[in-house]
């Protein structure tokens, strides 16, 4: 199929982007186009105007700023995957990026595009929610930001308003000496959309006790969710404690029921993968090789 007719605009600045978006409620932003272009071809999306932001220099790049790694919205996923700063300071993001689509799509897909698309099973939004990232947004009134947990509302639905454009994602950096990460997902084939995924990050003190922990679940519900693991702080994170904590956090989890997996299956898998991700993160923080970790 071919897309419905649309106007194509390539603005030269972020301010011009916001003006174009504010003036036309049927305008859509395009950067990598790895999701939008197929939707256009199948006429699942029919924007009156496409605003191409890919060549706006201020929207691209990766830098360190005040205890955070800031990733520009149009930064290619493949670039972030190979970036030394991401690998050093954001190991969880570095670990999940190889599971985002396929190499050809990561070569064109952007970090901000994945955030804006808000697919519940997408790995980059999961990391953003798990680590408590801030989504930086620019509007005609100027820049602002909001926590990733507030930005994602539902499947393909975000809190971004008309005239607003994602400019960057600010990921907080953990500075603990002993830190580890864990990531697991279940899908029909590697790089397909995940039925359920789990991302964890753990920091330990010199005695092996937890001083900070984060666990997020993706794919199971309508949006990525960060689970409350505060009860694990100060403990030695033995497997029984981890299992009990994840079981309590997922007991009332509202999971999706569709052709790919039942709600009950997703709840069981969320529990299993959540525990495995935490165990892997604990073991890596302690300097041990995770047992049976495939990721």
Whether 210 maps to a domain, the answer reads yes
Instruction: Check whether residue 191 and residue 279 sit in a common domain.
Output: yes
Instruction: Check whether residue 187 and residue 158 sit in a common domain.
Output: no
CA distances to 24, 30, 165, 178, 214 from 36, in Å: 18, 7, 16, 41, 31
Which pLDDT score, from 0 to 100, does residue 292 have? 59
Strand pairing class (165-172; 178-186): unpaired
Instruction: Check whether residue 29 and residue 94 sit in a common domain.
Output: no
> Could you tell me which residue, 47 or 124, shows the higher pLDDT?
124
Domain ranges, residue 268? 178-285
Which pLDDT score, from 0 to 100, does residue 118 have? 95
- How many angstroms separate the CA atoms of 245 and 285, rounded? 19
Whether 188 maps to a domain, the answer reads yes
Q: Which helix (H) or strand (E) holds 243?
A: helix 239-250
- How many angstroms separate the CA atoms of 73 and 143, rounded? 14
Whether 1 maps to a domain, the answer reads no
Of 86, 57, 82, residue with least CA distance to 70: 86
Of 212, 190, 199, 176, residue with least CA distance to 270: 199
Strand pairing class (7-9; 49-52): parallel
Residue 265 has pLDDT above 60, yes or no: yes
Whether 292 maps to a domain, the answer reads no
Q: What CATH number corresponds to the domain at position 40?
A: 3.30.43.10
- How many angstroms separate the CA atoms of 261 and 202, rounded? 29
Computed from CA positions of residues 83, 61, 170, 146, in that sequence, does the dihedral angle turn out positive or negative?
negative
Q: What CATH number corresponds to the domain at position 109?
A: 3.30.465.10
Whether 294 maps to a domain, the answer reads no
Which pLDDT score, from 0 to 100, does residue 125 have? 98
Q: Residue 145's beta-bridge partner residues? A: 136
Instruction: Check whether residue 273 and residue 245 sit in a common domain.
Output: yes
Whether 290 maps to a domain, the answer reads no
Tell me which residue has tokens 């955030």.
115
- How many angstroms separate the CA atoms of 224 and 111, rounded? 16
CA distances to 1, 35, 37, 112, 255 from 41, in Å: 5, 10, 6, 22, 30
Instruction: Check whether residue 93 and residue 139 sit in a common domain.
Output: yes
Q: What is the pLDDT of residues 137-183, one digit of tens each?
A: 999 999 999 999 999 999 999 999 999 999 999 999 999 999 999 99
Q: What is the mean pLDDT of residues 27-56?
A: 89
Which pLDDT score, from 0 to 100, does residue 294 have? 47
Instruction: Check whether residue 63 and residue 41 sit in a common domain.
Output: no
Residue 260 has pLDDT above 50, yes or no: yes
Instruction: Check whether residue 64 and residue 134 sit in a common domain.
Output: yes
Query: Phi and psi at residue 9, in whole multiples of 5°?
Result: -130, 135
Look at residue 7 and give its three-state secondary structure: strand
Query: C-alpha 20: how far from its chain's center?
Result: 27
Instruction: Check whether residue 38 and residue 69 sit in a common domain.
Output: no
- How many angstroms separate the CA atoms of 176 and 202, rounded? 9
How many domains does the chain divide into? 3
Whether 186 maps to a domain, the answer reads yes
Among 149, 172, 195, where does a domain finish? 172
Instruction: Check whether residue 259 and residue 152 sit in a common domain.
Output: no
Among 146, 172, 198, where does a domain finish? 172
DSSP 213: E
What b-and-e string marks burial along 268-287, b requiring 16 or more CB atoms within 10 Å of the CB? ebbbbbbbbbbbbbbbbbee
Instruction: Check whether residue 32 and residue 72 sit in a common domain.
Output: no
Q: What CATH number corresponds to the domain at position 268?
A: 3.30.390.50
Query: Phi and psi at residue 54, in whole multiples of 5°?
Result: -60, -35
Strand pairing class (49-52; 27-30): parallel
pLDDT category, 11, cuts 50, 70, 90? very high
Instruction: Check whether residue 136 and residue 68 sit in a common domain.
Output: yes
The phi-psi region of residue 98 (left if phi > 0; otherwise alpha if psi is between -120 and 50; otherwise beta) is alpha
Whether 291 maps to a domain, the answer reads no
């Amino acid at each position: 199929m071919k897309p419905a007719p649309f106007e194509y605009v390539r603005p030269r600045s972020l301010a011009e982007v916001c003006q174009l978006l504010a003036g036309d409620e049927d305008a859509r932003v395009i950067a990598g186009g790895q999701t939008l272009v197929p939707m256009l071809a199948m006429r699942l999306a029919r924007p009156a105007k496409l605003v191409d932001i890919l060549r706006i220099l201020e929207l691209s790049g990766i830098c360190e700023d005040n205890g955070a790694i800031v990733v520009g919205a149009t930064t290619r996923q493949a670039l972030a995957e190979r970036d030394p700063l991401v690998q050093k300071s954001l190991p969880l993001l570095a670990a999940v990026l190889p599971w985002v689509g396929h190499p050809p799509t990561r070569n064109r897909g952007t970090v901000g595009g994945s955030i804006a698309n808000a697919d519940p099973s997408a790995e980059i939004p999961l990391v953003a929610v798990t680590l408590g990232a801030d989504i930086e947004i620019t509007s005609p009134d100027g820049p602002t930001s909001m926590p990733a947990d507030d930005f994602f509302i539902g499947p393909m639905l975000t809190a971004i308003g008309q005239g607003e454009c994602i400019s960057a994602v600010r990921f907080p950096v953990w500075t603990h000496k002993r830190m580890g990460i864990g990531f697991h997902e279940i899908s029909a084939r590697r790089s397909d959309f995940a039925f359920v995924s789990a991302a964890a990050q753990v920091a330990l003190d010199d005695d092996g006790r937890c001083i900070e922990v984060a666990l997020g679940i993706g794919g199971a519900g309508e949006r990525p969710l960060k689970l409350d693991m505060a009860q694990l702080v100060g403990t030695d994170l033995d497997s029984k404690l981890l299992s009990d904590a994840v079981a309590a956090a997922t007991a009332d989890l509202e999971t999706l029921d569709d052709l790919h997996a039942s709600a009950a299956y997703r709840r069981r898998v969320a529990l299993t993968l959540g525990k495995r991700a935490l165990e892997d993160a604990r073991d890596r923080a302690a300097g041990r090789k995770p047992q049976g970790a495939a990721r």
